[in-house]
Amino acid sequence: MTEINPNEQEAGALGFWHRYRLLIIVAVIGILIIGWLYVSKGIAVRQALETLPAQRAEWVKQAEARHADTVKQSLKQFGVPLAWAVRREMMGENLDQVDQYVTDLVKLEGFEGVTVAQADGSIAVASDRRHVGAAFGSLYAERYLTAEQITADETAPGQWLLVVPVMGLSARLGTVVIDYRAPPSALGE
């Protein structure tokens, strides 16, 4: 019979350790590094996901502000040839043609109402016929009746009021006011 020497078992385990210790240490360090990377990336991803809604909201807000600026500039540019066309017809006292412009404008998408006031403040032409003959101040702020520049004011999100002064050679002929609803921004929800 052979005797089992307990020291031989330890010598085997100790021998295994001595033979493979560098490999074992490298493997343990590698596992620790991979674990640390996994945990730190998980934390970074979680933090990024937590800030994503706030960043998106800020981006949407900036995009909507740029959209509003674009709409405002477009409306002001549209007002220039409109003032020329209405001026020509008002100087020739051809309100029927101005009425035709108004009728055609409200057929276009976004144009909800058009009002043309005389220099004295009486409504001469309107897309809503009930307003014809009414005082300008009963529909809009009086300051618009004396505005010297084309004005585009956002009265509510996406709702615009375009005020176009119609000037003759030496005096004001009237004022055109357009209620316009801009198409929504592509990013807005």
Q: What percent of the chain has pLDDT over 90?
A: 61
**Mean pLDDT to the nearest integer, 155-164:** 94
Of residues 154 and 1, more confidently modeled: 154
Nearest to 86 by CA among 166, 171, 170: 166
Q: Which residue has the tokens 């009486």?
A: 122
114-123 tens-digit pLDDT = 999 999 999 9
| Average pLDDT value over all residues in the chain | 88
pLDDT at 113: 96
Domains of the chain plus CATH, in order, are: 76-181 (3.30.450.20)
CA distance 62 to 79: 26
Compute how many other C-beta atoms are within 10 angstroms of the C-beta atom of residue 75.
24
pLDDT in tens, 91-145: 999 999 999 999 999 999 999 999 999 999 999 999 999 999 999 999 999 999 9
- pLDDT, one tens digit per residue, over 36-47 is 888 888 888 888
